Amino acid sequence: MDPMLLMLIIMLLAFWLMSRFARKQQQKMADEQKRRTEEALVPGTWVRTRAGFYGTVVEVDGDVVTLATPLGDESLWAKAAIVGAEEPPFADAQDEEEDAEEGVEEEAAPAELEADAANDSPDESASETETPQA
């Protein structure tokens, strides 16, 4: 048998084995993702869709999932569109109230500094120290 033909057959066999191994790994990862998504589809869980929509699971009926927004609006989504359980990146109402209270305290400090700066302006201090010349 020609050594060149033998080397070609060995290379083709190696490529086939590598691609088969890669396909098995991809299938294993896809199955694991699907399992985690199925576990996450219980009412009250935050999920994210492929489109980037965040909502809480209200109901699962076959391949249709009902998701609710924070305002209470409900929409229907295909189960395949759900990426997995994920908390939304926005803050809840309690965090917003705390941030607003901190913002009021922080805004007061710059206002006090501006008032102090206005009282100590160089123009006023220079006019007070000048003596009238006759």
Distance CA 51, CA 49 (A): 5
Per-residue pLDDT of the chain (134 residues; tens, 9 = 90+): 788 999 999 999 999 999 999 999 999 999 998 888 888 888 999 999 999 999 999 999 988 999 999 888 999 999 989 988 888 887 665 555 666 666 555 555 555 555 555 555 555 544 555 555 65
Q: What is the pLDDT of residues 3-27, one digit of tens each?
A: 899 999 999 999 999 999 999 999 9
